[in-house]
Amino acid sequence: MPYLQIDHASKSFPSHTGEGQVCIFNDVTIKIEQGEFVTVIGHSGCGKSTLLNIIAGLDTASEGGVILEGKEVVGPGLDRMVVFQNFSLMPWMTVFENIALAVRSAYPDWSQTQVADHVNKYIALVGLKGAETKRPTALSGGMKQRVGLARAFSIEPKVLLLDEPFAQIDALTRGVIQEELIQMWNASRNTVFMVTHDVDEAILLSDRILLMTNGPSARVGEIVEVSIPRPRSRESIIEHPHYYKIRNHVIHFLVRHAAHVGRGSGESGAGRSGDAPVLVRFS
Amino acid sequence: MSAETVVSEDPPVDNETGSSRSARKPTKGRMMVGQAADSPWMITVFLAVLFLLGWHLATLRGAFDGTGLTEEQLQMMEFNGDIVRAPDGTYLWNPEKEKVKGIPGPLAVMEKAREELSDAFVIKGTNDHGIGYLVFYTVSRFGAGFLAASAVAVVLGVFLGLNKVLFKAVNPFIQILKPISPLAWMPLLLYTVKDPKWTAILVVFMAALWPTLATTAFGVNSLRKDYLHVAAILQLSWPKRLFKVILPGAAPTIVNGLRISFGSALVAVVPAEMLLGELGVGYLSWIEWNNLDISGVIFAILVVGCVGVILDSGFNKLAGLVTYQE
C-alpha cells in the first residue's frame, strides 16, 4: 500500500454546449511513497492542477479518489498543504500574521510565544527576517512565494502540494528559491506532489516525473525516474550524464508524443498497452 | 525672457552673480511647477477670489439716483416701499426690500454668516435654534440612521453573500427596492410610526440600507476563492473564517458600499428635514426661504456643504483603517 495513492481518478465537466460531459483526465492512478518528491508535467488543460486540487480536497473527482495513509481523503485538511501559484496570501495580514494563522490552526493549544517562536523560525528559514510586519503588497513575487513556502512548511503537513509555485517568479529568483525549497525539504522530508511546466525545475527537485498526455481524457503517459543522486544543486546537476538525457526525453515527450499517446491507440513504441504508463529509467 | 534679454544686453560686469543667476534659474522654475502640481492651493484660492469677485460685481446695485423723477413719482415709490428718505432728505433704496431683490452679494451672505455664527449656541425660540444646535441635530439624525442601516446591511449582506442560492433568490427584491428614492417612503413611514423625529431617521436609514446591502452581498459572494481555499485547508472554525478571512477580504467592497450609502443618506437628510419640519441644517434652508431671507438660504446651503465635508473626511479616515491593497 503506497503512502499516497490517486486511485483511478477521473474528472469530467459538463460541456459548454450543455450536451454531455467533457472528460479532463480519465482513470489516473498514481502511487507515491512517503518522503517522495513527485512532479507532474503536462500541457495546459491536461488537468494537472485539477488533480492537485483533488488531492488537496478542494475539488472532487468524478470517479475514483485519493487515499492517504490507507484512508480516503474527504475535503481539505491540515495534513495536505498547498503552495499556490498566485501565492494566496491574505493581503490584509502581515507576513507574520499570514504564517501565524496557519500555525495557530495546526497547533491550537500552543501559547502565543510558542506560535511566535515557530513562525519566526520559518521566517528566518526563508530569509525574510526583517519583513515580518510587511504586507504582501510590499513584497516582490519571490518574497511572496517564500512566505507561501514558510506557511506551508510551518504546519508540517504530511503532503505538500506545490501548484506551479515558481511560475510567476522571475527566472533568477526562481533558481534561488528552488534551492531554498530543496534545503527545507531535506530537513522535513514531506511527501511532495508538484505540478509544473518547467522541465529543469522538475529534474532538479523530483524523484519521479509523471508526464501527462494532452486533454481531453488525459492520462499519465510516462513516468521518468530522475536517476541523479541527491544532494542536487542547480550548478552541479547539469554536469550529471543523465541530466540532458532526461531533459531531452521529457521535452521530446511533451513536443512529440503528448498529443498522440492520449488517444490510447498505443501506436508509439512497443509494450505501450492501453493505459498503463511507461516507466523510463536511464542508467 | 525679459531677464535674459537684460543680462545679454548688459556687459558681464560681475561674472559671479551672472553665472549663479543663470544656474539657479531653471531649478527655480522647476520647483514652481512642482509645487503647483503637488498642492495647487494657489489656483484654488485664485478661483475662489475670482468667483467671489464675479458674484460681488454681478449682484452689485448702484445707489438710488432720483434725478429725472418728479416729486410725485418719488413719493409713490416711497409709499410702495421701494425707497426710504434718509434724515438728510435724500432718497435711498429700501434696505428691507433689497433683501429680496435679486440674489444677495457675498458681503450680505458673510454678514448673515457672522450673525448666525456669533449666536451659534443660542436658543431664541421653538423653531429658532442656533446654527451649532442645528448642525448637531442633523449630524446625530444622520449618524443614527446611517449606523443602524450599515449594521443591518452588513449583517444581512454577509449572510446573503455566503449563501449563493438565497442571494440569487433575494436579489430581485434588492434590485427593485434599491432605486426607490428614500423620500418616496416618507408618507408611509410617517403614517406608520406617527412621529416625524423617527420618520426622519428612518428616511436616512432607507437611503443608506440598499447600497451597502447590495455591495456587501456582492463583495462576500465574489471574494477570491483562494482565500477561502486557504481557510478550508487550515480548517478554520466558522467564526475565525468570518472574522479573519471573509470580512477583511470583503472589507474594501463593503466600504465602497458604505461610501455610496453615506452619500445617498447625506442627500436624503436635507429634504427629509425640510418636508418633516425637523430642526436641522436642511430645515434652516427652508425656514430662511419662508422668511424670504435669501442670504440665509445661501448660508444654509454652505453649512450643508461644510457638514458634508466634515462627515466625509471622518468616514474616509475610518475607511482607511479597514481597506488593503491587493
Residue of chain A whose Cα is closest to the Cα of B223: A90
Provide the pLDDT for residue B126.
79
Q: For residue B250, give the chain A residue with the closest CA.
A: A92
Q: Is B320 on the interface with A (CB under 8 A)?
A: no
Question: What SS3 state is found at B243?
Answer: helix
Asked if A218 and A47 count as a contact pair (C-beta separation under 8 A), the reply is yes
- Predicted confidence at residue B293, as pLDDT, reads 85
- For the residues A194-219, what does the mean pLDDT come to? 90
Query: Which of A267, A258, A197, A272 is closest to A280 using CA atoms?
Result: A272
**d(C-alpha B103, C-alpha B199), whole Å:** 34
Classify residue B104 by its DSSP letter.
Answer: P
Q: What is the mean pLDDT of chain B?
A: 84
What confidence score (pLDDT) does residue B277 get? 86
8 Å CB contact of A92 and B230: no
Judge whether B232 is closer than 8 Å to chain A, CB to CB: yes
A-B contacts (CB, under 8 Å): 58
Residues A177 and A143: their CA atoms lie apart, in Å, by: 9
61-90 in B: which are within 8 Å (CB) of A? none
Note whether A75 contacts B232, CB cutoff 8 Å: yes
Alpha carbons within 13 angstroms on the beta-carbon side of residue A103 total: 27
**pLDDT level of residue A56 (50, 70, 90 thresholds):** very high
Residue extents of the structural domains in chain A: 4-79+157-281
As a whole number, mean pLDDT of residues A6-23 equals 85
B235-270: per-residue pLDDT in tens? Answer: 999 999 999 999 999 998 999 899 999 999 989 999
pLDDT tier for residue B27 given thresholds of 50, 70 and 90? very low
pLDDT band at B37 (very low <50, low <70, confident <90, very high): low
The percentage of chain B sitting over the pLDDT mark of 90, rounded to a whole number, equals 44
Question: Which residues have CB under 8 Å from A83's CB, separation 6+?
Answer: A145, A148, A149, A152, A160, A161, A162, A163, A165
Work out the pLDDT band at A275, boundaries 50, 70, 90.
low
Residue B29 CB partners (closer than 8 Å, separation 6+): none
**For position B6, what pLDDT does the model report?**
41
Provide the mean pLDDT of chain A.
88
Query: Looking at residue A23, what is its pLDDT?
Result: 86
The predicted pLDDT at position B210 comes to 93
Report the pLDDT value the prediction gives residue B220, as an integer from 0 to 100. Answer: 94
- Report the C-alpha gap between A158 and B55 in whole angstroms: 77
- The pLDDT of B63-68, averaged and rounded, is 78
3-state secondary structure at position B101: coil
Q: What is the pLDDT of residue A217?
A: 82
Give the mutation candidate from B233, B242, B326 for the A interface (greatest A CB count, under 10 A). B233
CA gap B31, A109 in Å, rounded? 60
Nearest-CA distance B306 → chain A (Å): 33
Nearest chain A CA: its distance from B231 CA (Å): 9
Distance of CA A254 to the CA centre of its chain: 18
Strands (E), chain A: 4-14, 21-32, 37-41, 63-68, 71-72, 80-83, 159-163, 191-196, 208-212, 220-225, 278-281
State the helix-helix crossing angle for A112-125 and A141-154, rounded to 10 degrees: 130
Buried b (16+ CB within 10 A) or exposed e, B135-173: bbbbbebbebbbebbbeebbebbbebbbeeeebeebeee
Residue A75, pLDDT above cutoff 70: yes
**Cis peptide bond prior to B187, omega within 30° of 0:** no
Average pLDDT over residues B287-297: 87
On whether any CB of chain B is under 8 Å from the CB of A106, the answer is yes
Q: What is the pLDDT of residue A46?
A: 84
Q: Answer whether B244 sits within 8 Å of A101, measured CB to CB.
A: yes
C-alpha–C-alpha distance, residues B132 and B116, integer Å: 9
Between B325 and B123, residue with greater pLDDT: B123
Q: Which three cell numbers stand for residue A251?
A: 521535452
B30 at A interface, C-beta within 8 A: no
Q: Between β-strands A80-83 and A159-163, what pairing exists: parallel, antiparallel or unpaired?
A: parallel
Instruction: Residues B123-322: name the CATH superfamily.
Output: MetI-like (1.10.3720.10)
Following DSSP, what letter does each residue of B204-237 receive, concatenated? HHHHHHHHHHHHHHHHHHTS-HHHHHHHHHTT--
Q: For the residues B216-221, what does the mean pLDDT come to?
A: 93
Q: Say whether pLDDT at B71 is over 90.
A: no
pLDDT at A21: 84
Write phi, then psi, for A210 (nearest 5 degrees). -95, 125
Q: Are B233 and A76 within 8 A, CB to CB?
A: yes
Total Cβ atoms within 10 A of residue A235: 9
**Mutation target vs A (from B229, B230, B324; most A CBs, 10 A cutoff):** B230
Q: Which residue has the cell 431671507?
A: B293
Tell whether B157 is within 8 A of chain A (Cβ): no
Q: What is the DSSP string of B276-302?
A: HT-SSHHHHHHHHHHTT-HHHHHHHHH
Most confident residue range from A95-104, A170-179, B7-16? A95-104
* Residue A261 pLDDT level (bands cut at 50, 70, 90): low
Confidence band for B22, pLDDT divided at 50, 70 and 90: very low
Residue B163 scores a pLDDT above 80: yes
Contact B233 A101 (CB under 8 A): no
Confidence label for A99 from pLDDT (cuts 50, 70 and 90): very high
Q: How many Å apart are CA A69 and CA A2, to the nearest integer? A: 8
Residue A84 grid cell: 499556490
Q: What is the mean pLDDT of residues B218-225?
A: 91
- Judge: domain A4-79+157-281, CATH 3.90.70.10: no
Q: Determine how many CB atoms are found less than 10 A away from the CB of residue B319.
A: 17
User: Helix and strand tally (H, E) in chain B?
Assistant: 15, 4
In A, minimum Cα distance to B227 occurs at: A88
- The span from the CA of A153 to the CA of A181, in Å, is 10
Interchain pair A137, B232: CB under 8 A: no
Does A92 touch chain B if contact means CB atoms closer than 8 Å?
Answer: yes
| pLDDT (mean) for A167-194 | 91
Q: How confident is the model at residue B3 (pLDDT cuts 50, 70, 90)?
A: very low
Reduce the DSSP state of residue A31 to 3 states and report it: strand
B322 → chain A, closest CA residue: A92
Query: How many angstroms from the chain centroid is the CA of residue B49?
Result: 20
Contact B296, B288 (CB under 8 A): yes
Residue in A with minimal Cα distance to B248: A92
A57 interface with B at CB cutoff 8 Å: yes
**Residue of B227, B228, B234 for testing the chain A interface, max A β-carbons within 10 Å:** B234
CA angle B146, B263, B308 (to 5 degrees): 90
User: With 80 as the cut, is the pLDDT of residue B20 above it?
Assistant: no
Per-residue pLDDT at A221: 86
- Closest to A105 (Cβ–Cβ): which among B234, B248, B325? B234
Tell me how far apart the alpha carbons of residues A210 and A36 are, in angstroms, rounded to a whole number. Answer: 13
Q: What is the pLDDT of residue B198?
A: 94
State which of B99-108, B110-119, B230-239 shows the largest mean pLDDT. Answer: B230-239
Residue extents of the structural domains in chain B: 2-49, 64-98, 123-322
Say if residue B123's pLDDT is above 50.
yes
Of the partner residues B232, B234, B324, the one whose CB lies closest to the CB of residue A91: B324
Res B215 pLDDT > 90: yes
Average pLDDT over residues B276-290: 89
- The answer, for A58 touching chain B at a CB cutoff of 8 Å, is yes
- Which of A210-219, B51-60, B215-224 is the least confident region? A210-219
- Say if residue B295's pLDDT is above 50: yes
DSSP A263: T
Report whether pLDDT(B286) > 80. Answer: yes
At B254 the pLDDT is 92
Could you tell me which residues come within 8 angstroms of residue A274 by beta carbon, excluding any fewer than 6 positions away?
A: A264, A266
Question: ω before A91 within 30° of 0 (cis)?
Answer: no
**Mean pLDDT value across residues B281-290:** 89
Residues of B in contact with A75 (CB under 8 A): 232
A60 touches chain B (CB under 8 A): no
pLDDT exceeds 50 at position B16: no
Given pLDDT bands bounded at 50, 70 and 90, which one contains residue B321?
Answer: confident
Mean pLDDT computed over A195-221: 90
Contact B235/A at CB under 8 A: yes
